[in-house]
Amino acid sequence: MLSKINRLRISTKLTLVNAAILVCILALTSLMTIMGIYFSVYHQAEVDLGSSISHTLKQLGSTDPADDLSPPPGPPPGHPSMDREPRRPFPPGFIPALWHEGALMPGVVLRVTDESGAVLFDSAEQYPSLDEVTSHIEANPPFWANKGMKVVVLDNFYMYYEKVNVTRGGKNYELHFLRMITAERQFLQMLQNGLLLTNGIGLIIALLAGYFISRRTLKPIRTITQAARAIEVTDLSRRIPEPPVQDELSELVETFNLMLDRLQTGFEQQRRFVSDASHELRTPVTVIRGYSDLLSRWGREDPTALDEGIAAIRSEAEDMQELIEKLLFLARADQKRQVLHRDRIDLQAMVADIVKQTRLVAGQHTVTLLANDAAFGRGDAVMLKQMLRVFFENSLKYTPDGGTITVSSVREGSRLRLIIADTGIGIAPENQQKVFERFFRVDSVRTKLAGDPSGSGLGLAIAHWIAEAHDIDLSLSSELGKGTRVQLRIPLLSEAEAG
C-alpha cells in the first residue's frame, strides 16, 4: 500500500493529504457541534425539570397542610388542563399549591399518585401511562445526560423522568415530573443527516478543487522537468523561463538556472582547458619529434646538428615537464588534494630573499625594495614563494629593458600590504580579470609587445589558487603602456603568536 502511494504524483498526494485533513476537520467540527447541541438540549431539559420540581416543592412547603381541607381550585388560566376536571378530588391534607402560577416550566408534565398508585391528577393525559414510562427507562443513558435523572425512550418519545415523594395530611403521595425532548431529538437527527450530506458534498468539492489547484500550482515543476530532459551536456545554453509570481517555485527555477550557468561555465572551462593543454603539449612533442628525425638522418655525421638537436630536445622536455607539473598541481587543487604545510613564516625575510633572487636575473631591469616591514604569517612557505615568483617573472617578462620593478611591504593592522608594480606594457581593462584563468594569454597585445615570450598561461592561475588557499586578498590594476600593479593583503599572526 505504501509503495503504491509513493508512486503517485505529487499533485495526487497533495490532494489526498488535503482531503484527509479536511475529513478530520469536518468530522471533528461536526462531532463537536452535535455533542454541543445535544448537551445544550439535555441541559435545558434538566434545568426545566429541576426548576419545576424546586418551585413545586417550595409551594408545597409554604402552605399549612391543616388548611387544605377543601378541593383545590382549578388550574391557573391558560393551563392545558383547564378544559377538564381532575380525575378525582384531592384528599384532605393535599394542598392545591401544585397549580400555583409559574410552578411548572413550559413543557414539563406533572402527575400525582397516591399510596395505591392511583393517578390523582394528570396535567397531560395524552402522554404515555406511568407504567409504560417506568418500564422503558434507559439503563445506559447518554453520557451528556444528567446522571441524577432517568431517561425514557418509548417508541419515538424521548423524555426526562423524575419522581418525588411527599407527605401531606398524614398520607404519602408521589409527584411524577416528565419533560419531553422528542422534538429536539428529531431536530438533532435532521441536523446529523444534513451535516453528513453537506460534509460529503464539501469533501467532493474539496477533492476536485484541490486536484485542480495542486496541478496548477505544480505546473512550473513539470516545466522544469521537461526543460531538464531537453537539456544536454553538449548544449547547456537553454534556460527555464521564470514564473511571474515570486514564490518558492520561482526560487527553485532561479537556483536551477544558476546551476546551469555554473555547469555551462565549468564545461566550457574544461573544454578550453583540454584544448589548450593539448595544444601546449603538442608543440614540444612536435619539436622533439622533428629534431629526433633530424638527428636520425644527419646527426651522426654533423656534430653541429647533433649539439643543436640535443639542446633543443632538452629544452622542450624541460618545458613539457614544467607544464605537466603545473597541470598536476591544478588537478590536485581542483580535487582538494593539494597538501599545504602551514608553518610560522617570517614574511620580511621572505620578501627580501625573493627581491634578491629577482635582482640576480633582472638583466637590464631595476628592482627596488621601497619598504619591508617586519611581519609574521602562517602558511606554506614553498607555496608562497612560488606565488611571489610568478608575479616577479611576469613583471620581468612584460617590462621592456630599462624598466623598473618596485616592491613595497607595509604592515597595516592585522594584514601585510605587499605591492609589486612595474613599468611594463600593461593589460587592457577587459582582460585584467581574465589573466587568472587557465591558459589565458593576451596574445594580441602583451605577447606581441613583449617579443613573444614563452609561457603556458598557468602561472597566474596557480598564484590565484595559492592566494585563496592562504586567505590573501589579491587585486590587480593595470593600464596599457604604463605598467601593472599587483596588491596582496596577507593575514598576519598576532604578537603573541609571532613570539
C-alpha cell at 69: 381541607
Complete domains list, the chain, with CATH? 2-192 (no CATH), 248-334 (1.10.287.130), 343-498 (3.30.565.10)
Q: How many CB atoms lie under 10 A from the CB of residue 340? A: 13
Q: pLDDT tens for residues 351-363?
A: 999 999 999 888 8
- pLDDT greater at residue 273 or residue 75: 273
> Distance (Å, rounded) from C-alpha 153 to C-alpha 298?
128
**Which pLDDT band holds residue 450 (cuts at 50, 70, 90)?**
very low
Enter the DSSP assignment of 447.
Answer: I
> Distance (Å, rounded) from C-alpha 40 to C-alpha 191?
14
> What's this model's pTM, rounded to 2 decimal places?
0.49
CB 467 within 8 A of CB 488: yes
> Distance (Å, rounded) from C-alpha 462 to C-alpha 438?
8
> Distance (Å, rounded) from C-alpha 373 to C-alpha 389?
20
Q: What integer pLDDT is reported at residue 309 of this predicted model?
A: 81
Q: pLDDT tens for residues 150-165?
A: 888 877 677 888 888 8
The helices-and-strands tally (H runs, E runs) of the chain is: 12, 12
Q: What integer pLDDT is reported at residue 366 of this predicted model?
A: 93
